[in-house]
Copies of this chain bind each other. A is one copy, B any other.
Amino acid sequence: MTRFRARVRVMPRSSILDPQGQAVSHALGELGFGGVGEVRVGRAVELLLDAASADAARADALQMCERLLANPVTEDYVLEGVEPAA
């Protein structure tokens, strides 16, 4: 077994209202940042897991997204990377 580090990004679907993102967009404007459009705020998850191979780690991480990390009704997820942990 090798220890891998997996990185997941979970974002609200574009069809879903994102009040946190709207608040950030508004606050950036108040701070003087011009030209800021839509902002969306999701979760970034980093996890360490043991697996026999990078492919197995990737498969496990995708299962974790399906079963816990992302809300299938409102969110999309991207598995951004799986690499051996240092």
Q: A33-B49, A45-B39 known; A69 and B24 CB under 8 Å?
A: yes
What are the residues of chain B within 8 A of A37 when measuring CB–CB?
3, 47-50
Contact call A11/B46, Cβ cutoff below 8 A: yes
1/0 contact string of A37-62 vs chain B (CB within 8 Å): 11111111111111100000000100
- A-B pairs, top 9 by smallest CB distance, nearest first, are A35-B50, A37-B48, A44-B44, A39-B47, A42-B44, A9-B44, A40-B46, A38-B48, A36-B49
Q: Which residues of A contact B (CB under 8 A)?
A: 1, 3, 9-11, 21, 24-25, 27-28, 31, 33-51, 60, 63-64, 67-69
Q: 5 A-B pairs, CB-CB below 8 angstroms?
A: A3-B37, A21-B45, A24-B68, A33-B64, A40-B47
